[in-house]
Amino acid sequence: MKTSLLCLLALIALLLSSCHTQTDDFISKNCPGSCTVIKGTLTTDGRTKPLAGVKLEVQWHEGDMFSSIRRRKAITTTDASGNYELRFLLRDDELPSTYPDNGSFTVKAHINLENYLNCSGGNILLRTYDLKRDTTITFDYLLPQKAFVEIQANNLQAKQQDDFMWTEFLSDAPCTTVVSWYTSDTKQIIPIAANQPVIIRTTKRKSGVETVTEEVITLAPGKTFNYEYTF
Amino acid sequence: MLLRMKTTFLYLLLFFIVFKATAQSDSSAHTSQIRVYFGGAFPKGDFQSSDFEDTYTPFAMSGPLMQVSYAKAIGRNLYGGATLGLRINAMDLDKFAEENDELVLSKKSRPWQSVFTLADAEYRFNLTDGYFFVKGSAGAALNRSASLHVETTYGTIAQAADKNTAFAYGASTGLFANFDKFELGFETGILSTRPEFKFTDAQGRSTNYKLSMTTINLGIFGAFSF
C-alpha cells in the first residue's frame, strides 16, 4: 500500500514538474519593431550613486502551481551612469487579457541579495500586468545597500489590552518596514537602507496616552545600530 | 554524430594496424611530408554558447575542418612545418527561433568561418607499424563572424558578418601508418583563436566583443612523404 502511494506521488510530482517550462525569446531580445521599452536609472545611497554594471532582465510569466511558462524577453546591463534600456517584443499571448488568465512581466536585477535591500525580498524590481507594444516606460529605481538595526523592546509585559506599540523605519526606499510589538517579540534585527537617512519612529499608547519618538540614523553598508525602547 | 565518427576512426586505425605488415618501409628515409586532413570541428566553451545573456550569442554547431600541412624533418623524430586550414561552423538557427515560431517568416545565416595559417612543431614516436605523434601549432586566423537575417511579422532582424584576424594556436595528437611513401592516419586536437568582432544591434548601436572560437577536432588524413 505504501509503495503504491509513493509511486502515485512520484508520478504526480513528475507530471507537475513537466508542466513548467522556461524559454529564451531571442526574437524579442533582438526586437525588430513595435518594441516595448522599459528604461531608466538604477541608483543606490539615496539616489546619489549610480549602480553600474548591474544586469537587468525582463521575464514574462504565466501559470499556477500545476503548469506555468516563463519566457526571458530581454536583458541588459546598466552603464556607468546607472542608465539602462530594456527593449523587447510582446507576443500575442503576452498582451493583456482577462483576469485571472493574465500573465505578468517582471524586471529582475542580478544582484547579491545579501548586500542590497529590496522590498520583494527577492530580486524583482518591477512587476506589471498590462504592457503594450510600441510603448516606452521610464522607471527609475533606488536599490539601497543593506545595513541593520537591532531593536530591543523592554517592559512589554506592562502592556494592557488597549495599549499598543510599533516601530517604523522610514526612508527614501522602495518600501517601509513596520514592527508591531507584542509581549513575545522583544528583540529583532531589521535590514534598513544604508548610506542614507533613516527615521526610526516608535509610536506607543500607554494608559490612553499616545506618544511618538523619532531618531534619525545613517549607517554604512553592513553596519548594525542598536536601538532600545522601553514601553 | 561524434560517437559515430569516433567509432569510424577507431575501425580505421585497427584496419591500418592489421594490414600494415606487408607495406612497411623505413619512413625515416623520407624527410618531407604533405598531409591532407578532413574532419569535424566541435565547438566548445563560449563558441557553442546559446546563452541568452551573451551580447552576441554564437549558436555555433559542429562543422567541417580541412587542413593541408607540410612537414620537414629538422632533427631525429622532430619535424617543423606549416598548416593551412579552413574551419566552418554553422549557426543553430533553431535555437534562435523555433521551427514553428509564429513571428518568423523566414530565417537564414552564413556560418562562422576561420582560415588558419599555422607554424607546426611535431614530434614522432616510432611504433611497429607507424608513428604516434604530438603536434603544437601557432599562427594567425582570419575569422568571419556569422551573419543572420530573420524576417518577422514585425520587421527584420539583420546582423552583418564582421572580419577580424587574431592569434591562433592548436595542439593535436594522432597515429598514422606507413604504406611506402603514403600514410593514412587520424588526428585529434584543439584549435583556438579569439578575434574581436563588432556587433550592431537593431538600434544601430555597436559593441565590440571578443569571442573565443575553440573547437575540439577529430579527423583522418592522408599523407605523402618524399
Whether residue A44 is found in the same domain as residue A115: yes
Tell me whether residues A92 and B102 touch, CB distance under 8 A. Answer: yes
Whether residue A62 is found in the same domain as residue A152: no
Segment A29-43, tens digit of pLDDT? 999 999 999 999 999
Nearest 10 degrees: Cα torsion B1, B6, B7, B8: 90
Residue positions counted in chain B? 226
pLDDT at A16 over 70: no
CA distances (Å), origin B17, targets A117, B122, B185, B218: 68, 21, 10, 19
The predicted pLDDT at position A19 comes to 78
At a CB cut-off of 8 Å and minimum separation 6, what does A9 contact?
Answer: none
Tell me whether residues B155 and A27 touch, CB distance under 8 A. Answer: no
The β-bridge partners of B187 are B174, B219
The predicted pLDDT at position B128 comes to 85
State which of A111, A126, A142 marks the end of a domain.
Answer: A142
- Closest C-alpha among A204, A147, A139 to residue A171: A147
Tell me whether residues B52 and A32 touch, CB distance under 8 A. Answer: no
Question: What is the mean predicted confidence (pLDDT) over A211-229?
Answer: 95
Phi, psi of A41 (to 5 degrees): -130, 140
pLDDT per residue rounded down to tens, chain B (226 residues) = 444 544 554 454 444 443 343 334 444 556 899 999 999 999 999 999 999 998 889 999 999 999 999 999 998 899 999 999 999 999 999 999 999 999 999 999 999 999 999 999 999 999 988 899 999 999 999 999 999 999 999 999 999 999 999 999 999 999 999 888 899 999 999 999 999 999 888 778 888 999 999 999 999 999 999 9
On whether residue B188 sits in a domain, the answer given is no
Segment A60-80, tens digit of pLDDT? 998 877 888 999 999 999 999
Mean pLDDT of chain A: 88
**CATH number of the domain enclosing B54:** 2.40.160
The predicted pLDDT at position A118 comes to 84
Selecting from B57, B101, B152 the residue whose C-beta is nearest the C-beta of A32 gives B152
Number of domains in chain B: 1
On whether residue A8 sits in a domain, the answer given is no
Suggest the residue from B153, B200, B205, B209 to mutate for an interface test with chain A (most A CBs closer than 10 A).
B153
Number of domains in chain A: 2
pLDDT band for position A143 (cuts 50, 70, 90): very high
Domain with A223, as residue range(s), is 146-230
On whether residue A6 sits in a domain, the answer given is no
Burial of A112 (0-12, 13-18, 19+ CB in 10 A): exposed
On whether residue B125 sits in a domain, the answer given is yes
Distance from CA of A90 to the nearest CA of B (A): 10
* Chain B neighbors of A89, CB-CB under 8 A: 103, 154
On whether residue B200 sits in a domain, the answer given is yes
Suggest the residue from A23, A26, A37 to mutate for an interface test with chain B (most B CBs closer than 10 A).
A26
The predicted pLDDT at position A185 comes to 64
**CATH number of the domain enclosing A215:** 2.60.40
Task: State how far the Cα of A70 lies from the Cα of A74, in Å rounded to an integer.
Answer: 13
On whether residue B25 sits in a domain, the answer given is no
State which of A142, A158, A183 marks the end of a domain.
Answer: A142
Whether residue A185 is found in the same domain as residue A218: yes
The predicted pLDDT at position B55 comes to 82
Contact (Cβ atoms closer than 8 angstroms) between residue B138 and residue B168:
yes
Beta-carbon contacts below 8 Å between A and B: 46
Whether residue A167 is found in the same domain as residue A195: yes
Distance from CA of B166 to the nearest CA of A (A): 27
pLDDT band for position A106 (cuts 50, 70, 90): very high
Selecting from B154, B156, B201 the residue whose C-beta is nearest the C-beta of A34 gives B154
Contact (Cβ atoms closer than 8 angstroms) between residue B114 and residue B128:
no
Segment A174-191, tens digit of pLDDT? 878 888 887 666 788 999
On whether residue B207 sits in a domain, the answer given is yes
Question: What is the mean predicted confidence (pLDDT) over A70-98?
Answer: 93
Distance from CA of B157 to the nearest CA of A (A): 5
Suggest the residue from A30, A76, A93, A108 to mutate for an interface test with chain B (most B CBs closer than 10 A).
A30
Tell me whether residues B155 and A34 touch, CB distance under 8 A. Answer: yes
Tell me whether residues B157 and A27 touch, CB distance under 8 A. Answer: yes
Task: State how far the Cα of A49 lies from the Cα of A81, in Å rounded to an integer.
Answer: 8
The predicted pLDDT at position B8 comes to 52
Selecting from A26, A30, A91 the residue whose C-beta is nearest the C-beta of B202 gives A30
Whether residue A169 is found in the same domain as residue A128: no
Distance from CA of A34 to the nearest CA of B (A): 7
Phi, psi of B32 (to 5 degrees): -130, 155
**CATH number of the domain enclosing A42:** 2.60.40.10
Range 62-101 of A in CB contact (< 8 A) with B? 72, 75, 87, 89, 91-92
Domain with B213, as residue range(s), is 2-20+32-175+196-220
Least reliable range by pLDDT among A6-10, A53-57, A61-65, B51-55: A6-10
* Chain A neighbors of B101, CB-CB under 8 A: 27
State which of A142, A174, A205 marks the end of a domain.
Answer: A142
Strands (E) in B45-146, as ranges, are 63-75, 78-89, 104-110, 112-126, 130-144
On whether residue A14 sits in a domain, the answer given is no
Suggest the residue from B50, B51, B101, B157 to mutate for an interface test with chain A (most A CBs closer than 10 A).
B157
Tell me whether residues B156 and A92 touch, CB distance under 8 A. Answer: no
Range 7-46 of A in CB contact (< 8 A) with B? 24, 26-27, 29-34
On whether residue B180 sits in a domain, the answer given is no
On whether residue A13 sits in a domain, the answer given is no
